[in-house]
Each structure stands twice: as C-alpha cells, then as structure tokens.
Structure 1
Amino acid sequence: MKTQSFKRIIIKVGSHTLSEKDALSLDRIKNLVYFLADLMQYFEVILVSSGATSAGYTKFHLDRKELVNKQVLAAIGQPFLMQTYNDFLAKFDKIAAQILLTASDFDSRKASKNAKNVVDTMLKCGILPIINENDTTATFEFFFGDNDSLSAYATHYFNADLLVILSDIDGLYDKNPHEFKDAKLVSRLGYIDKKWLEQSSKTGSEHGTGGIVTKLKAASFVLERNKAMFLASGFDLSVVRAFLLENKQIGGTFFIKDE
C-alpha cells in the first residue's frame, strides 16, 4: 500500500523505453499500463508519453532525420499509440484520453487554464490523460523537442506534486557510468548545479530526443517551483513501484529540496 504524501503525479516515459528496434515494445507498454492501473487506485495519474514517431514508423517507413517526415510519422503513430494504451487499459475497465500540446499552449494563460480544466475533469472521471507534444503543428519557436521538458511544464501548470521520469537512464550518477566502473548512483539531490546543464546531451536511442541533461533541466524546473522529481528505469519498474507504492527507495534518484 502506498504511503507517499503525493496526490497528483505525472509519469513520463520515453521512446527508448516504449520501442524496440523498429517496433513498439508491447510487453513494456503492457507492464507500464498494469503499473499505471495500480497507481490510479491511490493517485491522480497523468501520463506523458513519447513513442508516436516510433509507432508511425511501424506503419510507414520514412527517414526520421527529416523534420517533416518525423511530423508525418507522429501524425500516423499517435492514434495507433493511443489505441495500444486503451487496449491494455480495457482489462481494468479504464480508458485514456489524448492531449496534444505545444510550448505555446503554456505561454497562453487562457490555453493553459483550459488544458488544466480538461485534465482536472478527466481525473475526476477516472480517465487517464495521456499528453504528448503536438509535433505536427509545433513551430521552431514553440517546440519543446523533448518530453522531459514538456512533462516538467505539465507538472507545474497542471499542479502535480511529483514528476516521475522513466527512462533508459536509471538515475543520476556522480560520474558517467559508461566510462567509469566506480560511478555511484546519487540517491537524493536537492539542487541542480547550472554547469551540469551545459553538458552535451546524448540519447540512448535513435528514437529518443532526451538524455541526462534534459532530465536535469526538468529537475531544475520542478525544484525551482517547489515540486519533486524521481528518475528511474523504465525497463525495470520494480524501483518506481517500490518508491510510489511501498514508500521505499531501492534505486533511482529523488530530486527534492531539503527542508
């Protein structure tokens, strides 16, 4: 049984977690949905999900290096991705609803308020809101480019208490674990050094657009607004399950300001 004090949480899952080679990983999506269904018994849950481009590529092959092609693939893949989520949610008599946003929606007080009203109503009805960036209509000036940033903004504007980022990165280390065998996981952190945000960002997959730097930027954004963030693996959900449902931290990094 969960013992955390959080009420509304946002779960963000990346493309690398949801996809495998040139297809969606149905096993991982199924495991994620089963986990979300458990969370919805105790929390108000919002999902920020990447994966539309990867889903689109399973239906139609276009060169993902071209921006317009990625936009086309996202348009093809978004409904397919939503259907996949809803197929698994149906086992729990639950449904998901799609919300596509751009950075400009958060720059508009009217648009962000309207979006929050919609999200609030969905949660009251027991519906799972699934947010993604509207790649088809986003312009360069108002383009997040990665869902780590989108999820951080959603945490603030939709009044969530906690952002959980599930990724191929299982936490923040004191040095690069791919280069140093003695790298140690940082279990808890209350600040983000600005110089960390100036590093180059490398993603774990051709489908991904994030990396550790985008996650640190997300953590910095939420910490500055007195929110918390938890970074853990999206491949092994036992860590995040223990954190949210058992109040035990057995891995991952918890970003929260020290009281």
Structure 2
Amino acid sequence: METIKLEKQKSQDETAARRNYLRERIKDKKRIVVKIGSSSLQHPETGDLDYTKLDVLVRELCDMRNRGKDVVLVTSGAIAVGKKAVHIKDINHLDEDNPIAVKQACAAIGQARLMMTYQKIFAEYNQVAAQILMTKNTIVDNLNRYNAHNTFSELFKLGAIPIVNENDTVATYEIEIGDNDTLSAIVAALVGADLLILLSDIDGLYTDDPRTNTEAKFIEVVEELTDELMDMGKATTGSSVGTGGMNTKLIAAQIATSSNIDMIIANSKDIKVLHRILDGNNIGTLFAGTEKKYFDLPEFVEKMNNY
C-alpha cells in the first residue's frame, strides 16, 4: 500500500513539474496571436460595444508590444456591429430575398466602425495598427499566402499590430473560413507565432459543458489531442452572438499544436488575464505545441468545410 502511495505521489509531482515547465516557457514567447470573440466585445444587455473592455484589450496588447513581442489581434464583431448600426435584431430571421447579401452589407458597415474604434484607442497609446481581411483563398492560393506572409512580416518590422478578421463582405460558403477561432490558428501558423491565446466566454476545456453539467471537470493542460478530446467538442456550440463553440477551438488547437504553437483558452471576463498568462500563471487550458512535423496548412484549410 505504501509503495502505491509513493508511486502516485511521484506521478503527481512529475505532472505538476511538467505543467510548471510548460507555463514557465510562456514567458519567453516572442510572437503572439490573440483572438477575441463577438460576445466578449459587447454588452450582453444591449449588444453595443463594451468600450471599457476594448480599452483594456488594446492596453494589454500595447503592453505586450512594449515588452518587445510581435502581436496580432484576430477580432470578431463586424457583422454584430453592423447589425446594431442599421437596427437589425436578427439577420437569420429576416424575410429577405438574399440574406447572405444582408450579412455582407452589415459586415461592410460594421468592419469600418469596428476598425475606426480600434484605431482611435490604439492611437491613444501611440501604437500603429493595421487592418488585414482574409478569406480561405488567402491561405489556399500559394501566391496569396506568400503575399499575406510578406505583409505580416513587414508590419512586424514596422512595429505595427495587425488586426485581422475574415472578409465577411465577400466571403461565401465556398471561400469562407467560417469562424475566427480557426482563423486565428491559421494566422498563427502563417506568421510563425509561438503562442495563440483564445479569449472566450469560458474558462477553458472541460470534460463536458459546464453550463449544463455541474460534474464537468476542468482540464489544465493538454499535451496530446486525442480523438476522444476532439469528439468532446462536437456537441458544444458558441454563444448566440459568435459562431464558434468548443469544437472550433479544438480545431484551432489541432492547427496550432501541429505547427509547434502553444495555445491557451482563457476567459475574457477579465481581459487583464493576458499579462498574467505571459507572466506564466496557471490560467485557462494550455495546449502544448508539438515538435514541428509535416503539416499541410493549405490542404487542411481546403478540407475545413467537411469538419
């Protein structure tokens, strides 16, 4: 019995040591992609932008930049902001001849407003920001991908922070990426990031949906994305505002970790978790990147609509 206890204690100590190592190495990350979802940017009562959160987010990103990190922000919210601007409550229930065109029009209005807001707040912290809009073709087409990579590289050299969103104004099913969890992982792989942080409305990965199952257990670290873990996400959906649930986050983790990028899912309730994560604190669920292996990003993106 004593031997069993010692072996169990040894295993627990090794697990804790490994977890601490994985967290400690976060401090040394040099290129970081941060994704924030629509629901994290808005007041739940009204759907209007939460300027306090936006200000804290921008301040955290600027502080990362001041630490000498390259930073990319992947932001949702264009369609939601556009809907509010033209007083549309629910696009999905509009009796229109072309509902996709309505969404694209809302995206065109909302993206301009969203970017204007970001530019104003970044300017208050003397930080240059740039806009990059992407579709699936940006990754699948070799020349487009090469040009996008060069653009990001030059922006990093200039000290700018790229702000990325899917180009919902032109994207249709055939060329859309579909959600910004996946987009952020694609961007992370494209720019050679070493850390991806997904800010969401949940603390991280659980064994089941904690909103419906009080027995669900929190998972601190994932070192291998097994089929069982991937299947766990398929039953979950996102909020009524965003498009991503846990399934899209696990697909993002698959892309990121296969590209040797650590990924963390953390709760956006307190945006200041960003600097605490970079300080090595045990926050959210950490998916450990694996050693680089062959991973065909364009091929993966081409097949994404089958997921």
Is 1:5 equivalent to 2:28 in the alignment? Answer: yes
Compared CA separation, residues 177 and 3, structure 1 to 2 (3 A):
closer
* Count of equivalent residues: 255
What is the aligned partner in structure 1 of residue 61 from structure 2? Answer: 36
Relative to the length of structure 2, the TM-score reads 0.79
Q: Distance in 1 between matches of 2:214 and 2:272?
A: 24
Whether 1:14 and 2:46 are equivalent positions in the alignment is: no
CA distance in 2, matches of 1:171, 1:152: 16
Is the aligned partner of 1:123 residue 2:148?
Answer: no
1:96 corresponds to: 129
Q: Does 1:202 align with 2:228?
A: no
Choose from 67, 70, 77 the match for 2:100.
67
Deviations 1:164-199 (A, max 9, x none): 100112201122211232333211111222344342
Task: Give SS of 1:142's match.
Answer: coil
**Preserved CA contact (<8 Å) 2:207 2:219:** yes
After superposition, the C-alpha distances for 1:66-105 in whole angstroms (9 at most, x for unaligned) are 3322211110011110111111111211121110000111
**In the alignment, what sits opposite 2:75?**
49
Structure holding more helix per residue: 2
Could you tell me how far apart the structure 1 residues matched to 2:42 and 2:110 are?
12
Q: Give distance in 2, aligned partners of 1:157 and 1:258.
A: 16
Greater mean deviation of Cα atoms: 53-62 or 194-203? 194-203
Instruction: Indicate if the aligned counterparts of 1:161 and 1:228 stay in contact, CA closer than 8 A.
Output: yes
Does structure 2 retain, via aligned residues, the 8 Å contact 1:196–1:213? no
Offset of residue 258 of structure 1: 6.7
Give the secondary structure class of the aligned counterpart of 1:4: helix
Name the CA distance, whole Å, in 2 between partners of 1:147 and 1:34: 21
**Residues 1:227 and 2:252 aligned together:** no
Q: Which residue of 2 aligns with 1:214?
A: 248
| CA–CA distance in structure 1, aligned partners of residues 171 and 141 of structure 2 | 14
Q: Which amino acid aligns with 1:248?
A: N
TM score, norm. by length of structure 1: 0.93
CA distance in 1, matches of 2:289, 2:148: 28
Aligned partners of 1:6 and 1:161 also within 8 Å = yes
Over residues 198-218 of structure 1, what are the superposed CA-to-partner deviations in whole Å (9 max), with x where a residue is unaligned? 4234112x2200011100110
Query: Does residue 218 of structure 2 align to residue 192 of structure 1?
Result: no
Structure of greater Rg? 2
SS state of the match for residue 40, structure 1? helix
Is the partner of 2:202 in helix, strand or coil?
Answer: coil
Contact 1:24 1:54 in 2 (8 A): no
What amino acid is aligned across from residue 78 of structure 1 in structure 2? Q
Closer, same or farther in 2 for the Cα pair 1:3/1:101, shift >3 Å?
closer
Task: Letter of the 2:110 partner, please give it.
Answer: G
1:220-245, Cα deviation, whole Å (9 max, x unpaired):
1111222110110112124332111x
Structure whose residues are more often strand by fraction: 1
Structure 1 runs of 4+ with >4 Å offset:
none
Q: Point out where structure 2 has 5 or more consecutive residues left out of the alignment.
A: 1-24, 93-98, 292-307
Per the alignment, in what secondary structure is the counterpart of residue 254 of structure 1? Answer: strand
With 212-221 and 184-193 compared, the bigger mean Cα shift is at: 184-193
**8 Å contact from structure 1 (residues 189, 257) kept in 2:** no
| Match in the other structure for 1:162 | 195
Aligned mates of 2:108, 2:241 — CA distance in 1: 15
Aligned-pair identity (%): 37
Residue in structure 1 matched with residue 171 of structure 2 by the alignment: 138
Measure, in 2, the Cα distance between the counterparts of 1:153 and 1:14: 16
Deviation at 1:157, TM superposition (A): 1.1
